[in-house]
Amino acid sequence: MQIYLDHNSTAPLHPGAAAVWQEMSREAWPANPSSIHWAGRAARRRLTKARETIAHLLGVSARELFFTASGTEANATALRGTIQLAPPGRRRVLVSGIEHPSVLRTLEAIARERPDVKVETMAVNRSGVLDLKSVEPQLSSDVLLVSLMLANNETGALQPVSELALRARAHGALVHCDAAQALGKIPVDLAALGADLVTGGGHKFGAGLGMGLLVIRRGVPMAPLLPGHQENGQRGGTENVVAVVAAAAALEAALAELDGLRGEGARIAKLRDRLEQGLLARVPETSVHGADAPRLPNTSAVRFSGAEGEAVLIGLDLEGIAASTGAACAAGSIEPSHVLLAMGVPAVEAMTSLRFSLGSSTTEAEIDRVLEVVPRVVASVRRYAFDPEDEPVRPTLTPE
């Protein structure tokens, strides 16, 4: 039995999206939606309809929605585009310490390129949620942008984006929200969220690869990362019509399936709780990061004290179980999850943590199988206690 518990990295293709990919890939005319002939016009109609569908589902205007090739590109566009047009006197950027690497690394690169831009970290509490009280003194009239994700990709912790947006706007700052992990997993009304810039990626909610989205609130100045006439001048390059149409189908289906307490969200949350309770009962010295915080219904970050996370991950893979670790492999060494470190988790403990992320394909039988395998694998790994300073160099997986 192969069990896939890495939905936060890439969700399996939703049947509705798969049907779109199959149908459109069989067409004889893969037209450019910028072309004026009949095939191009047909592609443009499909693109326009998909844009309107996604915008409606997210609670924004179709004129505010733009498509990119990935969520990473959308983040880079939002950050670089606003900073490039920063007005005089606004050169500070605030970002939470738990953001996705595509946000943190982009800001690090900008700070190296632009010494006048000052990037500062906003602290989170031990549950992995932004500490609004500590952020308040950081806000002032020289802040250009604050960046806070809606749901963390490792712990699933939901963040107080709307509350932060109210405080930031009081100082005239813009708000960027990476909503990639939340879209399709929980209902999201971007108009109520209050962010000026929102990003996401289709493969996180079962649309397939090759599509990112960027919402730019009307009136927000934005320089394109890739100049061109497409996407109303905001993103050059021929649009991936198939990926966008598939994303509309996947997002519409995913949100319909949530259906309040009776739908997929409740079912998946129940499976997540079954997994966590079983692991806590069967594996000694185990805990769940951010268990007391409001979380996505599908995400569980579990610490197996004394068991190297990478070794547990490999052991699970040999049993046909796919999960992930928040550790990063860089420059020939294994680094602990920056998310867990920001939460105050000691580096040694962070290295013993795994993320399980469930989805619509997850079954009760699969969770029961995981509960059979994990205790055995963890016990095996614990027989060989590790010293982080003597860690062998091995590649590892990084949650996306």
**Residues labelled as active-site residues:** 329
The residue assigned the tokens 């290295």 is: 351
**CA gap 397, 290 in Å, rounded:** 21
Q: Angle, nearest 10°, between helix axes 264-282 and 364-382?
A: 30
- The radius of gyration computed from the CA coordinates of the chain, to the nearest angstrom, equals 21
If 0-12 CB within 10 Å is exposed, 13-18 middle and 19+ buried, where does residue 343 land?
buried
**CA gap 93, 242 in Å, rounded:** 36
Bridge partners for 288 per DSSP: 302
Nearest to 225 by CA among 118, 144, 109: 109
User: Are 5 and 370 in contact, with CB atoms under 8 Å apart?
Assistant: yes
**CA gap 380, 312 in Å, rounded:** 9
User: Are 40 and 238 in contact, with CB atoms under 8 Å apart?
Assistant: no
Q: What is the widest separation between alpha-carbon atoms in the chain?
A: 68
Q: Residue 45's CB: how many other CB atoms inside 10 A? A: 12
